Amino acid sequence: DQQVKQNSPSLSVQEGRISILNCDYTNSMFDYFLWYKKYPAEGPTFLISISSIKDKNEDGRFTVFLNKSAKHLSLHIVPSQPGDSAVYFCAASLISGAGSYQLTFGKGTKLSVIP
């Protein structure tokens, strides 16, 4: 039973256009959300995060939007560049019964930016 879902396994976007990656979650106890980017043969790299008390966080070309009522977040990349081609993972954090913060990941969306 996946608590964090990325329903689009892949996405293709033209260079210079906007890329929108979506993520849905089911557990209302998640209070912190992150996006990671992963190139082949490398580990995931932290990209941007957002606390559940906010609905938007921006960092350069990357903006994350959070809609708590819909349990939905999205990552916008604008303008998209060929170097953005990677797999993007959505992750959500909550505190476990043992008191540790745990990340739950989606399966990822492979973004291809076409020159």
Partner 1 sequence: ETGVTQTPRHLVMGMTNKKSLKCEQHLGHNAMYWYKQSAKKPLELMFVYSLEERVENNSVPSRFSPECPNSSHLFLHLHTLQPEDSALYLCASSQGQGNQPQHFGDGTRLSIL
Other Cβ atoms closer than 10 A to 110: 14
Q: Using the rule CB under 8 A, which residue among 46, 55, 67, 81 binds partner 1?
A: 46
Cα–Cα dist 55/108, whole Å? 22
- Which of 43, 60, 83, 115 touches partner 1 (CB under 8 A)? 43
Q: Which amino acid is at 55?
A: D
Alpha helix (H) ranges present in the chain? none
Q: Phi first, then psi: give them for residue 69, nearest 5 degrees.
A: -65, -35
Q: How far is the CB of 15 from partner 1 (least distance, A)?
A: 25
| Piece of the chain touching partner 1 by CB under 8 A; list 11-19, 38-46, 56-64, 69-77 | 38-46
Q: Which position among 51, 58, 78, 81 is part of the footprint of partner 1 (CB under 8 A)?
A: 51
Other CB atoms within a 10 A radius of the CB of residue 63 amount to: 18
For the record, the structure tokens of 12 come out as 């293709």
CB of 98 to partner 1, least distance (A): 5
Residue 27 or 45: the one with the smaller Cβ distance to partner 1 is 45
Where do contacts with partner 1 occur on this chain (CB under 8 A)? 2, 4, 31-32, 34, 36, 41-46, 49, 51, 89, 93, 96, 98-108
